[in-house]
Amino acid sequence: MSRYPTADALLAEAAAEAGHGDFGPGDFREGLAVLLDSLERDGDLDPGTDAAVVADLRRRLVNRLDVEAWYEDHPETEDAAIAGPVDIMGLPRTGTTALADMLSLDPRFRCLTGWEQNRPVPPPVAGRERDDPRRRAFVRAQEGRSDRQKAMHIVEIDATMEDTEILGMAFHGQQMTLPVPGYRAWWRRADLTETYAYHRRVVKLLGSRKPPELWLFKAPHHKFHLEALATAYPEMRFVMTHRDPAKVVPSYTSLVSTIFPPAAGERDLHALGAEVSEHLREGLEHAIEERARIGEDRFLDVHHRDLVGDPRGTVRRVYDWLGLDLAPDTADTIFAWQDRHAVGAGGVHRYTAEQFGLSRDRIRSEYDFYIRRFDVAVEG
């Protein structure tokens, strides 16, 4: 007997809950089926987590149904403008969040927030965000984060966040929140053209009542499918962040190990380290190949050493490349944020490569193509 429901069963449950049955375009059914199969075959989750995991999948299906119902009732949503976007991507743990949080302080950018992604319908209304019950719930959830979680990852409520939920609604997200290595192996090689077309559909809805001057996205996992993303957003420009992979891989493995739901027994952290290292390496291989085809002129490279060593100069360089003026009051706000969030200000994220079966020398050897291509500084 299967531990998890079938895709058809989940679809039926979601339709019954939403009261309508149009799930919209795209190849999401394939992704859902692969994900459920990987949970069944690869998952090491405690059975006590099953109800929450399945409920989250069902919520994403209900969100799909609500998106289509909104479009049917508000056909003018099709005409909503999408300006940009600017996309911050690269390896995780390289400053993508810090850079995105700083740029999010500029009111010219329309941020893709976490709280609006969780329940995209109805779209947020400009000027009423602080009273939105979804935002209030998100604030309460963040207040419950532990000191360790805060040291590992900054969360700014109104900053742009990874599009985990939108890609999750398409069931073609990276899914680094569950122990599903089989699914991730499939995802790395999947064609996400339809996924990002659907992504644009949801983004258009979200911006329909809070119009952007310029959309700002941030997602390290975008590096896996840059051409599909660029097809959906032909005007997109990319800021790619870089750091010594010997620092990145163990740090990201440590973060992921805290995100996964509890395991039924002792989780194999060495297997997780090996998977994360292979996963990120493949992502860089994809990125290098695809950005060359997209056009190097659409990419700006930002190194972690510069973001830490000269944050003000680095931010100004990003603005110059985008052709944007950095207004004095905006600069003051951004630089004050920098001062409050200097490295170590929120606590120290403690981990070792060895606890995940990794070694710095081996990582650097396997990522040598990347280090040489972007002249990445090796850290002590």
Tens digits of residue pLDDT in 153-192:
577 899 999 999 999 999 999 999 999 999 999 999 999 9
Confirm or reject CATH 3.40.50.300 for domain 7-374, answering yes or no: yes
Distance CA 193, CA 228 (A): 5
pLDDT of the residue at 147: 62
Distance CA 241, CA 192 (A): 22
User: If you count them, how many residues does the chain have?
Assistant: 380
- Phi, psi dihedral angles at 189 (to 5 degrees): -105, 0
Show me where the domains of the chain are located: 7-374
Q: What is the pTM of this model?
A: 0.94
For residue 75, count CB atoms less than 10 angstroms from its CB and return exposed for 0-12, middle for 13-18, buried for 19 or more: exposed
pLDDT of the residue at 179: 96
pLDDT of the residue at 152: 57
3-state secondary structure the chain: CCCCCCHHHHHHHHHHHHCCCCCCCCCHHHHHHHHHHHHHHHCCECHHHHHHHHHHHHHHHHHHHHHHHHHHHCHHHHHCCCCCCEEEEECCCCCHHHHHHHHHCCCCEEECCHHHHHCCCCCCCCCCHHHCHHHHHHHHHHHCCCHHHHHHCCCCCCCCCCCHHHHHHCCCCCCCCCCCHHHHHHHHCCCCHHHHHHHHHHHHHHCCCCCCCEEEEECHHHHHHHHHHHHHCCCCEEEEEECCHHHHHHHHHHHHHHHCCCECCCCCHHHHHHHHHHHHHHHHHHHHHHHHHHCHHHEEEEEHHHHHHCHHHHHHHHHHHHCCCCCHHHHHHHHHHHHHCCCCCCCCCCCCCHHHCCCHHHHHHHCHHHHHHHCCCCCC
Which tokens in the block code for residue 378?
A: 């090796």
pLDDT of the residue at 150: 56
Which tokens in the block code for residue 362?
A: 């081996």
Give the distance, in angstroms, between the CA of residue 45 and the centroid of all CA atoms in the same chain: 23
- Angle, helices 50-73/7-18, rounded to nearest 10 degrees: 50
The stretches in the chain having pLDDT less than 50 are none
Distance CA 376, CA 246 (A): 11
**Residues 218 and 89: beta-carbon distance below 8 Å:** yes
